[in-house]
Amino acid sequence: MNQYDPKSLQFNLSGMGCWLTLLTTFLLLGSVGLGWLVNGFLVLIGLALIAPAIGWLGFRWWLRRNLVEDKCPVCTYEFTGFNGTNCRCPSCGEPLKVEQGHFNRLAPPGTIDVDAVEVSVQQLED
Ligand SMILES: [Zn+2]
pLDDT of residue 105: 87
d(CA 67, CA 41): 39
pLDDT of residue 59: 93
pLDDT of residue 36: 79
Expressed in angstroms and rounded, the spacing between residue 63 Cα and the centre of ligand 1 is 23
d(CA 21, CA 35): 17
Expressed in angstroms and rounded, the spacing between residue 59 Cα and the centre of ligand 1 is 29
pLDDT of residue 106: 76
Q: What is the mean pLDDT of each run of 10 residues along the chain (126 residues)?
A: 55 72 83 78 92 94 89 91 89 89 78 72 71
d(CA 103, CA 94): 11
Expressed in angstroms and rounded, the spacing between residue 90 Cα and the centre of ligand 1 is 7
Cβ neighbourhood burial of 89 (10 Å; 0-12, 13-18, 19+): buried
Domains of the chain, by residue range, sit at 6-62, 68-105
pLDDT of residue 77: 92
Expressed in angstroms and rounded, the spacing between residue 88 Cα and the centre of ligand 1 is 8
Expressed in angstroms and rounded, the spacing between residue 60 Cα and the centre of ligand 1 is 27
Quick count: other Cβ atoms within 10 Å of Cβ 68?
A: 19
pTM exceeds 0.75, yes or no: no
pLDDT of residue 47: 93
C-alpha to C-alpha distances, 46 to 18, 28, 41, 52, 54, nearest whole angstrom: 18, 20, 9, 11, 12
